[in-house]
Amino acid sequence: MVRVIKVKRLFLFLALPCVLAVAALWYVVDYIEASVATPIPLAAAQLIQLEKGSSAQTLISTLKRQQIIEHPLWVKVWLKLHPELSRVKAGVYEIAPGMSLQAFWQKVVEGQEKQFSVSLIEGHTWQMWLAHLRQQPQLSNVDASESEILNGIPDYNCKPLEGQLLPDTYHFVAGTPLSQVVARAYKHLWDFMQDAWLQRDANLPYSTPYEALIMASIIEKETGQADERGMIAGVFVNRLEKRMRLQTDPTVIYGLGPNFNGNLTKADLRRLTPYNTYRINGLPPGPIAMPGKAAILAALHPTTTAALYFVARGDGSHVFSDTLAEHNAAVRKYQLKK
């Protein structure tokens, strides 16, 4: 009996350290799991960049270097517990305040890269857009030539890009080529234009969608007021149908190009360029800016009006007139201040 008691005591003596070790191990595991699930105390969002060929160890070192984690060893142990999380994907990722390491790491494993954006504005020209795109630090190949950009557009119609890119906000991941954003804007424009053209009003004085884009670009430059676009379109349609010249200043300015100094003179109005609608009949040969959807729809659905003229009031709005006498009176009132 004494021998049995001694054996039991020996068993307990030997088993107790094992039990304590297991308990300690479970405590450490629970602690690590809780730690990676706890929001990281960041003052502001940070970007983490992983180059191609980077490993989980690379990511751990980067997080330590940027002072996002304090104990790399715990992260290594956590990855031993979850080997499926060891395969990280290259890219630029954002870790935001309130995000846990576990949530961030899952984004990296799934390749949920940070989405950057660039907004392309209605009424700007292609050259203005190109300059803006080239200033985006997260785009690649920003020094590509215009011919290289055009070569990157599927099914490109070989017309100048002016007017053929849809103003919008475009999202992309770091390293996206500039030409890819341009190709998306081109596709979005023609996807929209294809449907809009099929639903256009009857008997419009343009025979192709491209001619409608030319008109839309002029409307875009003539007014920024939504409630006036239809009327502007109606005036221009009336003038085209009566074989009157459009006589719109923005086309003259576009035709002058870099020679325009900001002051449109009578000499400028007399200067013959392919875009000077004071000197040429009908539409100019191409768009003069990037029209937005609203301007395109106005060109395809002009307001029915008898007006043939309009003049700016000076506050962004216009006065519309049916006759030249009414128009001259409006010019004297709002332009000559008489």
pLDDT at res. 35: 80
pLDDT at res. 23: 54
pLDDT at res. 49: 93
pLDDT at res. 262: 86
**What is the 3 state secondary structure string of the chain?**
CHHHHHHHHHHHHHHHHHHHHHHHHHHHHHHHHHHHCCECCCCCCEEEEECCCCCHHHHHHHHHHCCCCCCHHHHHHHHHHCHHHCCCCCEEEEECCCCEHHHHHHHHHHCCCCCEEEEECCCCCHHHHHHHHHCCCCEECCCCCHHHHHHCCCCCCCCCCCCCCCCEEEEECCCEEHHHHHHHHHHHHHHHHHHHHHCCCCCCCCCCHHHHHHHHHHHHHHCCCHHHHHHHHHHHHHHHHCCCCCCCHHHHHHHHHHHCCCCCCHHHHHCCCCCCCCCCCCCCCCCCCCCCHHHHHHHHCCCCCCCCEEEECCCCCEEEECCHHHHHHHHHHHCCCC
pLDDT at res. 71: 84
pLDDT at res. 92: 95
pLDDT at res. 26: 54
pLDDT at res. 148: 94
pLDDT < 50: residue spans in the chain: 10, 12, 16, 20
pLDDT at res. 174: 95
pLDDT at res. 323: 94
User: What CATH class does 2-110 carry?
Assistant: alpha beta
pLDDT at res. 22: 53
pLDDT at res. 314: 81
Q: Where are the domains of the chain?
A: 2-110, 116-195, 203-334
pTM of the prediction?
0.84
